[in-house]
Amino acid sequence: MNIVQVKNLHKSYGTIKAVNDVSFSINKGEMFGLVGPDGAGKTTIIKILCGLLRADKGEILLLEKNILENKKEIQKNIGYLSQKFSLYKDLTVDENIEFFAEIHNVSDFQERREKLLDFTRLKPFRNRLADQLSGGMKQKLALACCLIHRPKILFLDEPTTGVDPVSRRDFWKILSQLSKDGITIFMTTPYLDEAERCNRVAMMNNGQIIALDNPNNLKEKINKHVIEIVCTPIRIAYKILKEKTSFEAQLFGDRIDVITDTLVDNKLITDLLNENNIEVIDIRKKTLSLENIFMHLIK
């Protein structure tokens, strides 16, 4: 069953086409990831699906109902965690959850709150002010507030941005359990390594979806080999690989990924770099990642 259906969605801000003819569907109980750089159109789409923005054109069905005609009913059955979720800093963890329960007209929320505090491991901090929580704990509290009314669809807009690695891992454990419990999760993220955990991934760039499938299928379709190189000086090495080989070179901070159609002997690349006074610290073959695929597609 398609719990979310989007057809030919358009949204512009003046002359800027933020969303340009986007279509996709999400199955019930699926974890669906929308990935892409800042300005790709991810947040615009999630706001339109939550009824916070009106599309210029297109059809949107949530829970088999049209968002324009049934916005209030749909909003009762969804949870939305925005990039800047507004916790009340001068309220405790308990009080924040109680406040959001009241907003959603959940009168008998105490048992549900206890379960959510256990689930998010926030029970020891229930009397702490929200302003005194760490970044990761604030995100878990925000998630608990989103879940107090038992939504059928959970919308998360870059939920782990700015969160430390340990808290990111804890947050993903929580999302994994929610998915097992049958909640449909639609999330946006700039982190392609996180998208690997989704059932399906839509890659966005300049307002359009450029690829959509499960992570394994995306890798099989591209069917490339990857050689990862750590060397110095890195930028000169990147320039040499681009100018003197037919390989596709992708620069990621302190490493270069060389994308090839066929298996290539590492020694060929090492010799080329050494001839140009580049010190190769490490070179190895690795599995194609979604990050590699995205960079390949936008080129």
CA distance 172 to 254: 27
The reported pLDDT for the residue numbered 1 is: 77
Query: Residue 141 is inside which H or E element, if any?
Result: helix 135-147
Q: What are phi and psi for residue 42, nearest 5 degrees?
A: -65, -50
270 contacts: CB under 8 Å, gap ≥ 6: 280, 283
Q: How confident is the model at residue 191 (pLDDT cuts 50, 70, 90)?
A: confident
pLDDT at 40 over 90: yes
Tokens standing for residue 46:
């999630």
The whole-number average pLDDT for the span 270-289 is 95
Name the nearest CA neighbour of 99 among 153, 142, 152, 157.
142
User: From edge to edge, which strands make up the β-sheet containing 2-13?
Assistant: 16-27, 2-13, 57-62, 65-66
The pLDDT of residue 229 is 97
Q: Domains of the chain (ranges plus CATH)? A: 2-219 (3.40.50.300), 223-298 (3.30.70.100)
Q: Which SS3 state, helix, strand or coil, does residue 90 take?
A: coil
Name every residue whose Cβ is closer than 8 Å to that of residue 295 and which is 6 or more positions away in sequence: 250
Tell me phi and psi for residue 121, to 5 degrees: 60, 35
pLDDT class of 246 with cuts at 50, 70, 90? very high
Q: How confident is the model at residue 193 (pLDDT cuts 50, 70, 90)?
A: confident
Contact 284, 255 (CB under 8 A): no
pLDDT value, residue 280: 96
Residue 190 pLDDT more than 90?
A: no
Strand partners, 118: none
Tokens of 215: 């992570």
Q: Is residue 85 over pLDDT 80?
A: no
